[in-house]
Amino acid sequence: MLKTKIKIPEDELLLLLKNNSEMAFNYLYDNYSSALYGIIKNIVIDPDRSKDVLQDTFIKIWKNKASYDSIKGTFFTWMLNIARNSAIDSNRSKHVKYKIQFEERIVDQVNKLDGNLKIETIGLKETILKLRPEYQEILNYVYLQGYTQQDFSDNFNIPLGTVKTRTRAALSELRTLLRENL
């Protein structure tokens, strides 16, 4: 499987996608399928169902790419949200209720060795560990485990407004620390 290292600028990518070409699909898959699969697998857990959800995600992306509007954000963010929502929906339809131990997850992340990991993102894991616990917690549940902010609020009995401001604070601090590392 050819892994393309060339990054196409977003407007060119969108033009390519309009053509419905296999080349466009290959570009998306080669560059983004791992990130999407990671999100999905963290939420769905079950490998077989994760594969189905990834397939579902790409089909939805392909079908609805014409409706993507850049005002919503980057194409990748758009795809991420489709992946996340598909994973959450899949869980809901299977009535999945699970509780993952917070500590266990973070240890998983740190110990996991993934050959696709880019050098510059290794620093991200260590940096997240430098954040205070409640920030790590919220980043983990919301960005990795597919909890909506409402879910998090309901599960942990924290007012939604607080969840939102804490999410912002966690991301802000993460960004600041990353900038200091450079």
Partner 1 sequence: MNIEEYISSGILESYVLGETSDSENALISCLVKTNSNVAAELKSIQEIQEQIAFNNAQTPPNDLKSKIWNSIVDQNNTIDSTDLSSREFSLIEKNESKKDESVNQTIILRPNKSYWIGIAASFIALISFGIFSVHYMNLATKYAKEIEKIKDKETFLNKNLALKSKEIKFLSASNTKKIVLNGIENKENYRVVAHWNENDKKLVLSEIQLPTLKNDKQYQLWALIDGKPHNAGILNSTNIEDYLEMIPVEKPQAFAITIEPNGGSEVPHLEDLCVLGEVK
Q: Which is nearer to partner 1, 6 or 71 (CB)?
A: 71
The distance of closest approach from Cβ of residue 156 to partner 1 in the complex, given in angstroms and rounded to an integer, is 16
Q: Which residues bind partner 1 (CB under 8 A)?
A: 1, 20, 22, 25-26, 29, 33-39, 41-42, 51, 54-55, 58-60, 62-64, 67, 71-74, 76-77, 80-82, 84-85, 89, 109, 114-118, 121, 124-125, 139, 142-144, 148-150, 161, 164-168, 171, 174-175, 178
The CB-of-33 to partner 1 minimum distance in angstroms stands at: 6
Token readout for 180 is 């200091």
166: nearest Cα among 135, 143, 142: 135
Write down the least CB distance from residue 56 to partner 1, Å.
9
The torsion region of residue 148 among left (phi > 0), alpha (psi -120 to 50) and beta comes to beta
The secondary structure of 90-133 as a DSSP string is HHHHTT------HHHHHHHHHH---TT--HHHHHHHHHHHHS-H
Smallest gap, in angstroms, from Cβ of residue 138 to partner 1? 10
> Quick one: 8 or 109, whose CB is closer to partner 1?
109
Q: Please report, in angstroms and rounded to a whole number, the separation of the first and last CA atoms in the chain.
A: 33
